[in-house]
Amino acid sequence: MAETDSILVAQAPVPKDWIMAIAPYVPGKSKTDDGRAVAKLSSNENPFGTSQAARDAFISAAECLERYPDAAAAELREALGAHYGIEPERIIYGTGSDEVLHLAAGAFAGPGDEIIYSRFGFSVYPIATRRVGATPVVAPDKEYATDVDAILARVTERTRLVFIANPNNPTGSYSTREDIARLHAGLPRHVLLVLDQAYTEYLGPDEDDGGLELARTQSNVLVTRTFSKIFGLAAERIGWGYASPEIIAAMHRIRAPFSFGIGAQRAAIAALADRAFVAHSYAHNRHWRDWFEKEIAALGNKGLRAVPSRANFSLVLFEGETSAETAYKGLMDAGYIVRWLPGQELPHGLRITIGTAEQMTGLVAALRKIVGAEA
Ligand SMILES: *Cc1c(COP(=O)(O)O)cnc(C)c1O
């Protein structure tokens, strides 16, 4: 290296060590390793696309691209308030619920503070934690599900935040209303409980973890939601959160003012109103997830089992002769991209999104071949 080069390197900006400690997020693939476009069942997207009304509303936004979007997202907050029976002034919004999770960590934790999440929790939590210089504290799981007692046992005076996804990604596990209430009751009042409900619309009509009610009545609960999953608007990055006015006001201070585009705002309002699309997506998912879990149970003699899921995907564990990696590659050859998760301590797991009927029957047929089951 020439002398000037080494001087340049020595003078280059140095990222914070907590930033360099982040393992970059790995998105689901949409093409095979050799470049073929195939069925993408790796990112929990809606197999039916999005509501036609949402698509039309998004297109209508093209008429005013020269104008800044409404920084207050007032119409969308009104629509959310009316739909869910919550106060619009207690709603924050962001580019995906990912941004809302980052805002929560940014407003309430920093260097020297601790953030707790579950071992198989959502992969954005470690990033959001380290990004603000806070220390991640990982609570062990209970049979792949969130273990409330393990989380509570790890609370210290440095704890500022607890992240939990319900249903959880990538395991699909669900914590009951009682579990969530117990978790909240066990936390000191200064700890913010962030309840990530990205998949809540896939729960049955009588299932409610009580998150919105807790956020309404308690000063330390933030619920986050997204339009990326059942509403099928992942491309537009639309998420929101609901909490006390004080929590929302703190998060607003660090929001990028115009990050939430006009197409996103219009599409979300229309998507919310199209209840038929959501009902159809729910019913399809329920049917094919049950079907898929039964098919995997039938491969129990080959060492396969599905972690019981309440979301729009299933985590399949490979504990027999065929490894998850072999199945991952075999499925890719057959035209199905799923998510293999060695980076999340799940080298023996594949997370498979519930797709169309044709995709699910085709995938199961391919999987049966790969593991050597009778046709
Ligand atoms: C998909 C997902 C999100 C958020 O997605 P956005 O597209 O950023 O809204 C949040 N939490 C969990 C657990 C998810 O799986």
Point out the ligand 1 atom lying closest to the alpha carbon of residue 100: 8
Pairing mode, if any, of strands 192-196 and 159-165?
parallel
Please give the pLDDT value at position 29: 78
Q: How confident is the model at residue 85 (pLDDT cuts 50, 70, 90)?
A: very high
pLDDT at 2 over 60: no
Point out the ligand 1 atom lying closest to the alpha carbon of residue 122: 13
Q: How confident is the model at residue 120 (pLDDT cuts 50, 70, 90)?
A: very high
CB 43 less than 6 A from any atom of ligand 1: no
CB 236 less than 6 A from any atom of ligand 1: no
Ligand 1 pocket, mutate which of 43, 102, 122 (most atoms under 8 A from CB): 122
Best CA proximity match to 163, nearest among 95, 92, 110, 114:
114
- Ramachandran angles phi, psi of 192, nearest 5°: -85, 125
Angle between the N-to-C axes of helices 245-252 and 96-108, in degrees from 0 to 180, rounded to the nearest 10: 100
Please give the pLDDT value at position 9: 66
Residue linked to tokens 């006015």: 245
Please give the pLDDT value at position 3: 58
Instruction: Give the Å distance between the CA of 169 and the centre of ligand 1.
Output: 9
> What residue type is assigned to position 190 of the chain?
H
Instruction: Give the Å distance between the CA of 122 and the centre of ligand 1.
Output: 8
Dump pLDDT digits (tens) for 212-221.
999 999 999 9
Point out the ligand 1 atom lying closest to the alpha carbon of residue 239: 9
Mean pLDDT of 122-128: 97
Instruction: Give the Å distance between the CA of 197 and the centre of ligand 1.
Output: 8
Cα–Cα distance, 229 to 54 (Å, whole number): 14
pLDDT at 38 over 90: no
If one counts every other C-beta atom within 10 angstroms of the C-beta of residue 319, the result is 14
Cα–Cα distance, 289 to 316 (Å, whole number): 12
3-state secondary structure of 337: strand
CB 175 less than 6 A from any atom of ligand 1: no
Average pLDDT value over all residues in the chain: 95
Residue linked to tokens 């293999």: 340
If one counts every other C-beta atom within 10 angstroms of the C-beta of residue 309, the result is 28
CB 163 less than 6 A from any atom of ligand 1: no
Residue linked to tokens 């599409």: 267
Q: Are residues 189 and 220 in contact, defined by beta-carbon separation less than 8 angstroms? A: yes
Instruction: Give the Å distance between the CA of 111 and the centre of ligand 1.
Output: 25
- Ramachandran angles phi, psi of 133, nearest 5°: 80, 5
Instruction: Give the Å distance between the CA of 97 and the centre of ligand 1.
Output: 6
> What residue type is assigned to position 155 of the chain?
V
Cα–Cα distance, 133 to 96 (Å, whole number): 22
Chain centroid offset of residue 230 CA:
12
Mean pLDDT of 320-330: 97
Residue count of the chain, please give it. Answer: 375
Cα–Cα distance, 25 to 264 (Å, whole number): 23
Q: Which of 40-44, 258-262, 346-350 has the lowest mean pLDDT?
A: 258-262
Query: Which residue has its alpha carbon closest to ligand 1 atom 3?
Result: 198
pLDDT at 6 over 70: no
Instruction: Give the Å distance between the CA of 288 and the centre of ligand 1.
Output: 22
Cα–Cα distance, 28 to 41 (Å, whole number): 8
**What tokens were used for 137?**
């504290």
Please give the pLDDT value at position 226: 98
Q: How confident is the model at residue 230 (pLDDT cuts 50, 70, 90)?
A: very high
Cα–Cα distance, 61 to 268 (Å, whole number): 12
pLDDT at 1 over 60: no
Instruction: Give the Å distance between the CA of 98 and the centre of ligand 1.
Output: 6
Query: Could you tell me which residues come within 8 angstroms of residue 162 by beta carbon, excluding any fewer than 6 positions away?
Result: 115, 116, 117, 151, 155, 183, 187, 191, 192, 193, 194
Direct distance between the N- and C-terminal alpha carbons of the chain, in angstroms, rounded to an integer: 61
Please give the pLDDT value at position 236: 96
Q: Are residues 42 and 338 in contact, defined by beta-carbon separation less than 8 angstroms? A: yes
Instruction: Give the Å distance between the CA of 24 and the centre of ligand 1.
Output: 16
Point out the ligand 1 atom lying closest to the alpha carbon of residue 227: 9
CB 222 less than 6 A from any atom of ligand 1: no
CB 97 less than 6 A from any atom of ligand 1: yes
